[in-house]
A and B are shown apart, each in its own frame.
Chain A
Amino acid sequence: MNYSIADTREAHLSQLLHGTAQQLDISPDMFLAAEQRYLDVGKHLSEEGVDIYVQGSFMLGTVISPYGRSGEYDLDLVCHSKIAKTSISQEALKYRVGGFLEQYLDNVDPIDEEVPELEESRRCWSLKYKRFHMDVLPAIPDALSRSATAILLTDKQLRAWQQSDPLAYVAWFRRQCAQQFDLERRALAKAAAGTVDDVPEWQVRTPLHRVVQILKRHRDVYFAGDSDARTPSSLITTLAGLSYGGEVGLLEATLSVVQRMPSHVENRDGIFWVENPVCTGENFADKWSEYPDRRVKFVQWVGQVEKDLEAAVRETTGLPAVHQRLEKAFGQTPVRKAVSSIGEHARLERERGGMRVTTAGVLTTGAGVAVRDHRFFGG
């Protein structure tokens, strides 16, 4: 992040949004704990001849910390068996994978003295750990697709196999911010004094990644009392990817995205449709036919994001009032931590000799009188 001292309202708000998104990012400890458990499950499954890989927000780099006490991180895995569709039924595949996971749990060496519980849901098996759960989706190759990574998924409520292509989706998302992705990855490589290839792609966060994190958190807070109506993350991520226009500042990027998002919802003969950009025929908005009020609430929510940000930009009663608006929209903890972090960086800038002040007294790293380093004194 650019930690120069923001001397315009837009830059200041972008900095606050960026800091908030950084606070929402998964902590390195939590990431390692999840990775360690995933690799352990993966090792067992590979002995059974199936591959396992990460998909969803962990892979995309749009994962955020859960909101509220009951929230958990959700790590999505694909469990890929190289079996022809004609050789196995959905049910048989599901129970084959379930069996492998049962065996795993029978023989697992507990990590941090923790053995997860196994639960079945509609499309996957869930391994429930203390602070997160791992959803394991049984899958087979989709031989009829032109994509080498296309897969077929089981679904207890549907007779037909469900098509999906999570790896192509990740590649699509990265294409939506290709230029920024390249820049950020280079910047990370430079900061670590390594090469671009040393930086894992899932570690890169472009403004589009940050916009998705910001929107997901706003959604979590907005729908806290109405969680069934929450706009799903897949829908937010897809609409944001379709709407992103390469903006660099997070305020501008978020506002542009929310303003354009509704226009990417198609109406196909009365059915609201947001197509999976890498899987023709998959409608991410399929639930809106069954629950029309969820689409209405989505439109209201998107409008609220815009209202909240516009009101913050126009706030006239002072900086703490801007902080309060953001706390209300995104939750107190990440916003306060972001404010602290920005304050800390301002002090470091002064110590480095980079802080200046304009003739109106506005702190800046641009033109102005240099703020000589000093120590505040007194009680």
Chain B
Amino acid sequence: MARPPRRSLTVTRQALELCRRYPHAERPTVRADRLRWIVKLQPTPFSVTYTVRVNHVTGHRPRVIIVDPALHAPEGRKLQHVFPGDELCLYYDEFDARVDLLADTIVPWISEWLYFYEVWLTTDEWHGGGIHPTTETKSRRRR
């Protein structure tokens, strides 16, 4: 079913929802249509606490970088599901910046990505599912 046409979510609204859902995290900074947020996430009780930076501009793809500890790939292996610059690739077409809250989508997906990354470090297998880009997916992917 097509979504009814509406005004895109503003970064202010996104920031409010991040504060509400993740009250222990720092407050996001919002300048004009740009949101910057630093959050600490620990995907499992054994995991280290990762410092994550989320940058978001209204209507665009949120950019997610793990600041600390640095991601690493064991020798001879390549990180899975990242864009160049080790930016996390969290979704194919399941996020729509006009209507979806970062707090409900991107943030849980970051934790999940980190968990599957830790499993991958041990097993060399990515168990999180997903798709790798092909010519077809590149041309079909809009957002």
**In the bound complex, do residue A372 and residue B24 qualify as a contact, i.e. CB atoms below 8 Å apart?**
no
Q: Which residues of A are found within 8 Å of B137, using beta-carbon distances?
A: 377
CA distance A220 to B12 in the complex (A): 60
**In the bound complex, do residue B119 and residue A375 qualify as a contact, i.e. CB atoms below 8 Å apart?**
no
CA distance A239 to B131 in the complex (A): 50
**In the bound complex, do residue A318 and residue B46 qualify as a contact, i.e. CB atoms below 8 Å apart?**
yes
CB distance from A100 to the nearest CB of B (A): 49
**In the bound complex, do residue B45 and residue A9 qualify as a contact, i.e. CB atoms below 8 Å apart?**
yes
**In the bound complex, do residue B94 and residue A340 qualify as a contact, i.e. CB atoms below 8 Å apart?**
no
Number of B interface residues, CB 8 Å? Answer: 54
Interface residues of B in 11-47 (CB under 8 A from A): 21-24, 39-47
CB distance from B47 to the nearest CB of A (A): 5
Q: Kindly specify which of A198-206, A250-258, A267-275, A319-327 makes contact with the partner chain.
A: A319-327
Task: Check A376/B91 contact, CB under 8 A, given A315-B46, A319-B47, A363-B112.
Answer: yes
**In the bound complex, do residue B122 and residue A377 qualify as a contact, i.e. CB atoms below 8 Å apart?**
no
**In the bound complex, do residue A360 and residue B41 qualify as a contact, i.e. CB atoms below 8 Å apart?**
yes
CA distance A378 to B104 in the complex (A): 21
CB distance from B143 to the nearest CB of A (A): 11
**Interface 1/0 per residue, A335-379 and B, CB below 8 Å:** 010011011101100110001110111110000011111111111
Q: Which residues of A are found within 8 Å of B42, using beta-carbon distances?
A: 360-362
Number of A interface residues, CB 8 Å? Answer: 42
Interface residues of B in 41-55 (CB under 8 A from A): 41-48
* Contact residues of B: prevailing secondary structure: loop
- Which B residue sits closest to A313, measured CB to CB? B46
- Which A residue sits closest to B132, measured CB to CB? A379
B65 within 8 A of partner (CB): no
**In the bound complex, do residue B45 and residue A7 qualify as a contact, i.e. CB atoms below 8 Å apart?**
yes
- A375 touches which of B78, B104, B108, B129 (Cβ 8 Å): B129
- Which B residue sits closest to A335, measured CB to CB? B122
A317 within 8 A of partner (CB): yes
Question: Which of A9, A318, A350 gathers most chain B CB within 10 Å?
Answer: A318
B97 within 8 A of partner (CB): no
B111 within 8 A of partner (CB): yes
CB distance from A218 to the nearest CB of B (A): 19
- B92 touches which of A323, A336, A350, A375 (Cβ 8 Å): A375
CA distance A347 to B127 in the complex (A): 7
Interface residues of B in 84-132 (CB under 8 A from A): 89-92, 94-95, 103-105, 107-116, 118-119, 121-123, 125-132
**In the bound complex, do residue A363 and residue B43 qualify as a contact, i.e. CB atoms below 8 Å apart?**
yes
A6 within 8 A of partner (CB): yes
A8 within 8 A of partner (CB): yes
**In the bound complex, do residue B43 and residue A362 qualify as a contact, i.e. CB atoms below 8 Å apart?**
yes
Task: Check A340/B123 contact, CB under 8 A, given A318-B118, A371-B108.
Answer: yes
A128 within 8 A of partner (CB): no
**In the bound complex, do residue B45 and residue A12 qualify as a contact, i.e. CB atoms below 8 Å apart?**
yes
CA distance A362 to B45 in the complex (A): 7
**In the bound complex, do residue A361 and residue B46 qualify as a contact, i.e. CB atoms below 8 Å apart?**
no
Q: Which residues of B are found within 8 Å of A374, using beta-carbon distances?
A: 90-92, 94-95, 105, 109
Q: Which residues of B are found within 8 Å of A344, using beta-carbon distances?
A: 127
Q: Which residues of B are found within 8 Å of A336, using beta-carbon distances?
A: 122-123
**In the bound complex, do residue A363 and residue B44 qualify as a contact, i.e. CB atoms below 8 Å apart?**
yes
**In the bound complex, do residue B90 and residue A376 qualify as a contact, i.e. CB atoms below 8 Å apart?**
yes
CA distance A344 to B127 in the complex (A): 5
Q: Which residues of B are found within 8 Å of A375, using beta-carbon distances?
A: 91-92, 94, 129-131
Known: A371-B111, A377-B92, A379-B133. 8 other contacts (CB 8 A): A317-B48, A357-B108, A357-B112, A360-B40, A361-B41, A369-B104, A377-B141, A379-B83
30 A-B residue pairs with Cβ-Cβ distance under 8 Å, sorted by A, are: A9-B45, A319-B47, A319-B122, A323-B122, A339-B123, A340-B125, A342-B119, A343-B119, A343-B125, A343-B128, A346-B115, A357-B111, A359-B21, A360-B24, A361-B40, A361-B42, A361-B114, A362-B45, A363-B115, A369-B104, A372-B108, A374-B91, A376-B90, A376-B130, A377-B91, A377-B132, A377-B133, A378-B132, A379-B82, A379-B89
4 A-B pairs closest in CB distance: A378-B89, A361-B41, A376-B130, A343-B127
